[in-house]
């Protein structure tokens, strides 16, 4: 598979950041439990009682220093503003935060065993094992999760209404600044199709509606690379020719009770059934292999 330095860098950064073990012990302090994440996520974590506020978020942690919290809040604001600009969104009153939230929660996980980055309604978790924030390494991670958070705030619900392939595709696309091209040509895509031919869905990314839809034993990271190619195709003038504003309208349609499949059809001009059936042919043409599109 052909990969770019940009794509390799993103993947390497994620693996390093989420696999480093904690090297020191948590400070002794009376924990405080008052974050909305204890309601809307499965993580009923306490914090150290010393949150720091920025323009867009309140930074909580189980042990990060005040300096690191301030730096994280400023970086959060910077990356979130980039997302607002990408979607040309400035009507902040349209955001639907949980009723318990004053701002978005950012929880810096220093000492809990779980090592992950994730967004939920009103809260973003970032694992930070050292009491320092290397913004160059964390840029993709923040922007990916904040793209999810943006969708949560538009839809205003603990459970997002979009399909996994769609929401992860746009988060990778926005998070990587349009440049996560592990699959950059038709040969790469044909290799993916060949490797997944024995699985029930043949590696078709559009079949991943929910997390349970990944075939047992399949390459989930590989699916993410295909999700990105699909989103690039959707937003490219030489592909489906849609825009981020169309995606934003889809989020609002879902918020207003429209099923994802119906919102997709009305905003992107093709039914979900047809898109799923045609996706590999469409991508192979898009990637420049018209002769081999039916292989």
Does residue 192 sit in the same domain as residue 243? Answer: yes
Does residue 139 sit in the same domain as residue 273? Answer: no
Q: At what angle do helices 164-175 and 220-235 cross, to 10 degrees?
A: 80
Domain edge (last residue) among 155, 178, 203: 155
Which domain CATH number covers 75? 3.30.2010.30
Query: For the segment 235-250, what is each residue's pLDDT rounded down to a tens digit?
Result: 999 999 999 999 999 9
Q: Mean pLDDT for the chain?
A: 88
Domain edge (last residue) among 121, 155, 189: 155
Query: For the segment 136-193, what is each residue's pLDDT rounded down to a tens digit?
Result: 889 999 999 999 999 999 999 999 999 999 999 999 999 987 566 789 999 999 999 9
Q: How confident is the model at residue 177, as a pLDDT?
A: 75
Check: CB of residue 18 under 8 Å from CB of residue 116: yes
- Model pTM score: 0.88
Does residue 282 sit in the same domain as residue 168? Answer: yes
Does residue 119 sit in the same domain as residue 216? Answer: no
Does residue 188 sit in the same domain as residue 255? Answer: yes
Does residue 40 sit in the same domain as residue 146? Answer: yes
Query: For the segment 28-43, what is each residue's pLDDT rounded down to a tens digit?
Result: 545 666 789 999 999 9
Domain edge (last residue) among 155, 177, 200: 155
Does residue 61 sit in the same domain as residue 122? Answer: yes
Range of the domain at 101: 5-155
Check: CB of residue 283 under 8 Å from CB of residue 181: no
Does residue 130 sit in the same domain as residue 171? Answer: no
- Tracing tokens 């595709």 back to the chain, one arrives at 169
């Amino acid at each position: 598979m052909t990969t770019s330095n940009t794509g390799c860098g993103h993947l390497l950064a994620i693996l390093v950041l989420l696999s480093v073990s904690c090297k020191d012990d948590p400070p002794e302090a009376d924990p405080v439990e008052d974050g909305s994440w204890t309601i809307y996520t499965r993580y009923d974590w306490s914090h150290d009682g010393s949150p720091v506020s920025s323009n867009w978020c309140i930074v909580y942690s189980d042990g990060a220093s005040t300096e690191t919290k301030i730096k994280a809040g400023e970086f959060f604001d910077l990356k979130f503003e980039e997302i607002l600009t990408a979607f040309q969104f400035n009507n902040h009153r349209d955001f639907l935060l949980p009723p318990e939230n004053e701002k978005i929660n950012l929880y810096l996980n220093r000492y809990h065993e779980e090592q992950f980055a994730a967004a939920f309604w009103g809260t973003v978790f970032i694992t930070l094992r050292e009491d320092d924030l290397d913004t160059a390494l964390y840029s993709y991670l923040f922007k990916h999760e904040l793209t999810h958070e943006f969708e949560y705030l538009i839809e205003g619900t603990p459970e997002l209404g979009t399909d996994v392939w769609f929401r992860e595709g746009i988060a990778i696309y926005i998070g990587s600044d349009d440049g996560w091209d592990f699959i950059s040509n038709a040969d790469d895509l044909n290799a993916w199709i060949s490797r997944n031919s024995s699985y029930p869905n043949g590696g078709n990314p559009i079949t991943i509606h929910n997390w349970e839809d990944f075939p047992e034993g399949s390459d989930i990271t590989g699916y993410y690379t295909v999700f990105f190619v699909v989103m690039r195709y959707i937003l490219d003038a030489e592909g489906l020719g849609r825009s981020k504003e169309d995606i934003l309208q889809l989020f609002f349609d879902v918020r207003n009770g429209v099923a994802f499949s119906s919102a997709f059809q009305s905003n992107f001009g093709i039914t979900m059934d047809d898109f799923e059936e045609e996706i590999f042919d469409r991508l192979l043409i898009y990637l420049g292999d018209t002769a081999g599109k039916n292989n």
